[in-house]
Structure 1
Amino acid sequence: MEFEKAAHFIWKHGRLLERRIFEYVFYEGSKEHIVRALKAYQNDDGGFGHALEPDLRAPESHPLYMEFALRTLYDCNIKDLDMSSKACGYVEKHADLANGIPTIFKSATSYPRASHWDNPLSTEPSFDRLVGLVGLLKWQGINHSWLNEAAAVCLANLSARKFEDAHTILTSFCLLESLPQTEHVTQLFSKLSAELLTSAKYLRLDPNISEYGLSPLEFAPTPSSYCSGIFSKEIIHEHLNVMKSQQSDDGGWPISWEAPGETATWEWRACVTLKNLMLLHNYKQLTD
Structure 2
Amino acid sequence: MKTLSETAFAAAERYLELHARLVDRLRFEHAFLGAPGELVRNAVAAYQNLDGGFGHAIEPDLRGSGSQPQGAEIALWMVDGIAAPDEPMLLRVCDWLQAHSTEDGGVPWVLPSVLDDERAPWWQPQGEKPPAALNPTAPIAGLLHAHGVDHPWLGPATEFCWKAIGEIGEIQAYDAMCILNFLERVPDRERAESEFQRLRASLRTAAAIDPDAPGHVHSPIDLAPAPGTMARRLFSDDEIDLHLDRAVEAQNDDGGWAPNFAMWTPAVVHEWGGFLTLARLRTLKAYGRIEQ
TM-score, normalized by length of structure 1? 0.90
- The 2-side partners of 1:259 and 1:269 are apart by 10
Q: Are 2:69 and 2:108, in contact at CA under 8 Å, matched by a contact in 1? A: yes
RMSD: 2.1
Residue 153 in structure 1 maps to residue 160 in structure 2: yes
Paired with 2:225 and 2:216, the residues of 1 have a C-alpha distance of 18
Residue matched to 1:258: 262
> Could you tell me which residue of structure 1 aligns to residue 37 of structure 2?
31
Alignment of structure 1 residues 220-231 onto 2, 5 Å: 220-231=224-235
User: Are 2:5 and 1:6 equivalent residues in the alignment?
Assistant: no
Q: Residues 158-177 of structure 1: matches in 2 within 5 Å? A: 158-177=165-184
Report if the CA contact (8 A) 1:5-1:251 is conserved: yes
CA distance in 1, matches of 2:170, 2:139: 14
Count how many residue pairs are aligned between Structure 1 and Structure 2.
283
Q: Determine which of 90, 107, 126 is the counterpart of 2:96.
A: 90
In structure 1, the residue matched to 2:277 is 273
Distance verdict in 2 for CA 1:163–1:79, change over 3 Å: farther
Q: Report the Cα offset of residue 120 of structure 1.
A: 4.8
Give the equivalent residue in structure 1 for 2:23.
Answer: 17
Deviations 1:80-124 (A, max 9, x none): 332211111111110114274222222323333222224757983
The answer to whether the aligner puts 1:243 opposite 2:247 as a matched pair is yes
Within 5 Å, give how 1:179-218 maps onto structure 2.
179-198=186-205, 200=206, 203-218=207-222
CA contact (8 A) 1:114 1:258 kept: no
The one-letter code matched in structure 1 to 2:143 is: L
Report the Cα distance in structure 1 between the residues aligned to 2:281 and 2:117, rounded to whole angstroms.
31
- 1:245-264 CA distance string (max 9 Å, x none): 11111111122122332121
Q: Higher mean Cα deviation, 206-215 or 97-106?
A: 97-106
- Bigger Cα displacement from structure 2, 17-26 vs 134-143: 134-143
**Are the structure 2 counterparts of residues 99 and 184 from structure 1 closer, same or farther at C-alpha, using a change threshold of 3 Å?**
closer
Report if aligned partners of 2:227, 2:286 keep a CA contact under 8 Å in 1.
yes
Deviations 1:174-197 (A, max 9, x none): 222222344322111112322212
- Which residue in 2 is equivalent to 1:78? 82
Q: Which runs of 5+ in 2 are unaligned?
A: none
Q: Deviations over 1:220-267 (max 9, x none)?
A: 211112322221121111111011111111111122122332121111
Amino acid at match of 2:215: E
1:143 paired to 2:147 = no
* 1:180–1:15 distance in 2 versus 1, CA, 3 Å: same
- Unaligned 5+ residue runs, structure 1? none
Match of 1:58 in 2: 64
